[in-house]
């Protein structure tokens, strides 16, 4: 089986304070993985390491068997940001945003070819935003914006998708559509890593789950990982509100 993400004994520290230690994770192709942990548990640090923003002080990462920078040049990694990290008033249209997913495959001047336009159109169709392609980003609802960024990742044709809290502040329609898209992408041998604090989504459609608190506490199938003991370790003995009524 193809391994998409292989992280071995990662350590990341910022100016001496440890953000992640000894974290290992292996994600095969065609797999949806939920990443669960508190704020500051190291979820975004792991994303940053996988997108090359921080360099691990120890350990190594391989994506499709390649180093991070090489995998990025191959357009293997797509990152779907949290809406909070994006300036929603930025003067770009939906079409522009999705086209940015194609930049890595274009020449230096980033002049779109017919194939790029087709990829963008196809991605917009799949997230049901084709009608709104000329709208400025600022005129979209939160859910539509999420879909636009997902379309960008689809247009990129990446095999590894990293999604930062994709279900935050999203309407029901978008949530349903995104879940369907994740399943489609899985069937196309993509691997999807989703950071979330909402455990119900994890139970609904994640194949595996990884619990994080400065390191990988537990990793495996959802039913095995979601034990009271693991969860209390992940959340420091204080199960968050989202857990109520959902713990086994």
At 87, phi and psi to the nearest 5? -80, 105
When the beta carbons of 92 and 189 are compared against another protein, the nearer one is 92
Does 168 bind another protein (CB under 8 A)? Our answer is: no
- Pick from 73, 117, 173, 176 the residue near another protein by CB under 8 A: 73
Binding residue (CB under 8 A) for another protein from 30, 34, 101, 143: 101
Q: What is the footprint of another protein within residues 118-147 (CB under 8 A)?
A: 136-139
Chain-centroid distance of CA 89 in Å reads 23
9 or 105: CB nearest another protein: 105
* Closest to 170 measured CA to CA, from 198, 189, 193: 198
Nearest CA to 211 out of 191, 196, 192, 189 is that of 196
Closer by beta carbon to another protein, 31 or else 140: 140
The one-character DSSP state at 143 is H
Straight-line distance from the first to the last Cα atom of the chain, in angstroms, rounded to the nearest whole number = 31
Using CB atoms within 10 Å of the CB of residue 22, give its burial: 0 to 12 exposed, 13 to 18 middle, 19+ buried.
middle
Binding mask 7-36 for another protein (x = CB under 8 A): ------------------------------
Q: Residue written as tokens 């548990």?
A: 41
Q: Count of CB atoms within 10 A of residue 85's CB?
A: 9
Measured from the CB of residue 202, what is the shortest distance to another protein in angstroms? 24
DSSP letter (8 states) at residue 66: B
From the list 80, 42, 46, the residue with the least C-alpha distance to 182 is: 80
**Using the rule CB under 8 A, which residue among 6, 28, 29, 52 binds another protein?**
52
Which one among 45, 64, 144, 156 touches another protein, defined by CB under 8 A? 156
**Segment contacting another protein (CB under 8 A): 30-38, 92-100, 175-183, 219-227?**
92-100
Q: Which residues are at the interface with another protein (CB under 8 A)?
A: 51-53, 69, 72-75, 77-79, 81, 85-87, 90-93, 96, 100-101, 103-104, 108-110, 136-139, 152, 156, 162
């Amino acid at each position: 089986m193809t391994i998409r993400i292989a992280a071995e004994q990662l350590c990341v520290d910022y100016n001496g304070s440890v953000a992640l230690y000894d974290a290992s994770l292996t994600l095969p192709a065609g797999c949806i993985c939920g990443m669960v942990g508190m704020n500051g548990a190291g979820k975004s640090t792991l994303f940053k390491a996988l997108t090359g923003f921080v360099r691990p002080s120890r350990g190594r990462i391989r994506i499709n068997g390649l180093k991070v920078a090489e995998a990025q040049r191959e357009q293997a990694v797509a990152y779907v940001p949290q809406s909070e990290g994006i300036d929603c008033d930025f003067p770009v249209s939906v079409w522009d945003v999705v086209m940015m997913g194609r930049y890595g495959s274009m020449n230096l001047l980033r002049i779109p070819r017919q194939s790029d336009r087709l990829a963008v159109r196809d991605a917009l169709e799949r997230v049901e935003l084709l009608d709104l392609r000329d709208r400025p980003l600022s005129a979209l609802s939160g859910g539509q914006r999420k879909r636009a960024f997902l379309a960008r990742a689809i247009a990129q044709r990446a095999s590894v998708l990293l999604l930062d809290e994709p279900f935050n502040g999203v309407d029901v329609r978008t949530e349903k559509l995104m879940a369907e898209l994740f399943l489609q992408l899985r069937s196309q041998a993509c691997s999807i890593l989703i950071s979330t604090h909402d455990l119900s989504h994890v139970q609904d459609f994640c194949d595996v789950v990884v619990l994080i608190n400065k390191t990988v506490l537990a990793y495996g199938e959802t039913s095995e990982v979601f034990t009271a003991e693991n969860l209390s370790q992940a959340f420091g003995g204080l199960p968050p509100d989202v857990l109520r009524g959902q713990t086994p």
